[in-house]
Every structure is written in C-alpha cells, then in structure tokens.
Amino acid sequence: MKNEQCKTRVGLCETQPVTAEGIRSLLGSTPDLECRWCAGSLAMAVAMLQQQPVEVLLIDKSFLLAPNQELAEILEGPAQTLNLVVWGQTLSELEALRFAQGGARGVLRKTTDLPAVLRCLRAVAAGTTWMEETGTREPARLERTMRSSLTARERQVLELVEQGMRNKEIADVLRIRPGTVKIHMKHIFEKTGVRGRYGLALNGLRQKGLLALSRAHGLVNGAESEAMENEEARALKAS
C-alpha cells in the first residue's frame, strides 16, 4: 500500500487501443509510475480527471483541435497539479509551440524510444519540462553562444518575435521601418542558425525553461522544415 502511494499516477488519452495497452504495460513495469486509467476521448479524459485525479496526463495531439482552448480547459479543472504531456506520430515546430503556449510541459513523438518516454514522464511529474539528454547539451551551449553575438537591437527584435509579433507590429513597437526589421531578421537567422519564425519562438520558450524538446529524434522532418522556410520567405516579402 505504501509503495502504491509513492507511485506517480498517469492518465492516458489515446486513440489507439494497442498503443494504450503498450503504455500501460510499460508503466506497470516501473517501480514509480502507474497508468491509472485510459480514455478514448477528450470528454472521457476530463470526466476521469474529476473522478480519479492523476499527476500526469499523456494525451494524443489528435484530440487537440484548438490546443490553447482545450488545454486551458483541462488545466483549469479540479486537477490543480496536473502536468500535461502531448505526443503524436508527427510534430512540427509550430504544433509544439502551440502546445507549449497552451500549457503542455512535455511534447514528444510516438517514435521516441521507451526509456525516453519514461524520462519525459518522470521529469514532468517532478514539475520540470522535458528535454532528452542525448544530443542536447552541446547544441544548447552553441545556441547560447550564437545568441550572445546578436546586437542589442537584434535581441529586441528577437524578443518580440518570440512573443508572436509580425514584422509590421515589431516596427511599430520599436518605431523603425518594416524594411529595417527584415534586415534584423536576416541577421538573426544567420547568427542563430534557426530557420523560420516558429523556430525562433520555440527556441525562446526553450531558453526560458517553458519547454524542452527532444532533438535526438527531431520534431521536424525535411519536408516540414522546407515548408516552414518557404512560408517564412513569403512572410518576409509580404511584410
């Protein structure tokens, strides 16, 4: 009984029964985690949270059509200490950013290896965000170094981009021309090595400790990266 009370309770909102059973078995094999229940719909998960509160909710991204609204509704419920982890078969940086802004403390792909899934759940249950250790430490240090090379004005522009502002809005806030913002953006991309506005915003959240994403498995495939880069190019031309 004492051992049961020490376990972190996990709820699962999953579309695939086989996947749900796999997670249940995985957690059942650990001394500190247990799958308390599995829901096949968002409404059922919300009801289960009221009846059987858990510390962590692992939810399939397909249930979140309007992430900010739906995650907010879950977090505003009776489970005040609930920590959310969103996962999916594929995840773009834009999706990850939206989930993070909506309140998720963990984001991962279903292709993540099992030990990483356990590390994620444990980290989130402990009140932190999740970052897979493999391949993250050196890139993170390199990213900080590149950011330190930004000028004071470029850092101002970057901070506003991380808040979701477009070029015209940034120009209005800083009282500069939109064309000048474009030049600053070009320099920021070159110095940070980040591709696209979504990447900058996501990195901003990561730097502030609001979200840490697995780089060992990557959140964006080649096609998605190219699409995001093309979208950024179009946005810069239109601004």
Q: What is the pLDDT of residues 25-67, one digit of tens each?
A: 999 999 999 999 999 998 899 899 989 999 999 999 988 876 6
Predicted local confidence at residue 197, as pLDDT = 79
For 81, other C-beta atoms within 10 Å of its C-beta total: 10
Task: Give the residue-averaged pLDDT of 83-89.
Answer: 91
Q: Which of 156, 121, 131 is nearest to 209 (CA)?
A: 131
- Residue 206, pLDDT score: 60
72-81, 112-121, 125-134, 212-221: least confidently modelled range: 212-221
State the pLDDT at residue 208. 57
| Domains of the chain with bracketed CATH | 2-125 (3.40.50.2300), 137-238 (1.10.10.10)
**196-220 pLDDT tens trace:** 777 777 666 666 554 444 443 344 4
Q: Which residues pair with 39 in a beta bridge?
A: 13
Residue 42, classed as helix, strand or coil, is: helix
Nearest-angstrom CA–CA distance, 28 and 4: 11
Mean pLDDT of the chain: 77
* Full-model pTM: 0.62
Tell me how far apart the alpha carbons of residues 211 and 199 are, in angstroms, rounded to a whole number. 13
Q: Does residue 117 have a pLDDT over 90?
A: yes
Close Cβ partners of 76 (under 8 Å, ≥ 6 residues apart): none
